[in-house]
Chain A
């Protein structure tokens, strides 16, 4: 199927290594953040979220870090696997609204 992220920045990681994907968000009034994974031919899939009253949240093999001072979000994937190859987007939810603003995205390529 068609690929998304053909022109997006690419992060290449060796299988088994840890991946760190970064995102700068735009609005200091945003209070809820999500990382999405989008595989080729599919819609974005929820990975992990974090609220603005936290600076770290862990899931299964994934960790999200939030630095409100510099409006920065990162996604860490431990022991990266071939199935992690996809485009990753951060999304911010403006406080008091239903709107999400999506970041530009990063394509993660896992090398065998």
Chain B
């Protein structure tokens, strides 16, 4: 199973600023994903991070707000731009090796916007 590390593990940010979250996988993986987990809620997929091409965003999420990079098969970043208190959430990185296989998760980044 893949081991996923996220940095930072938590942060408190001022509204209007941006935060970049890093995700490192200990092996090469085909698919990487970013999820948001709002307080007391389940996980919602933000986007699929594709290596060598632009990320694919889910309905309700846009590239200007959540730019994503995927420079290689082991690393991705998610930026939360122009933050507001409504962006306070846990952001989770996930990877899987193919369809119909289990997805692994990082420990999450707990973001509080004040």
Contact = CB atoms under 8 A, between A and B. Distances in A.
A6 interface: yes
B43 A97 contact: no
Contact of B96 (A4, A44, A98): A98
B64 interface: no
A99 interface: yes
B31 A102 contact: no
A34 B101 CA distance: 9
Interface string B27-67: 00001010001011111110010000000000000000000
A93 B100 CA distance: 7
Contact of A43 (B48, B96, B106): B106
Contacts of A2: 39, 90, 110
Contacts of A45: 105
Contacts of B98: 98
A11 interface: no
Interface of B: 1, 4, 31, 33, 37, 39-45, 48, 90, 92, 96, 98-108, 110
26 contacts: A4-B39, A6-B39, A7-B40, A7-B41, A41-B107, A42-B108, A43-B4, A43-B92, A43-B107, A43-B108, A44-B92, A45-B105, A46-B1, A49-B102, A51-B100, A89-B43, A93-B100, A96-B99, A98-B48, A98-B98, A98-B99, A99-B48, A100-B103, A102-B42, A103-B42, A105-B41
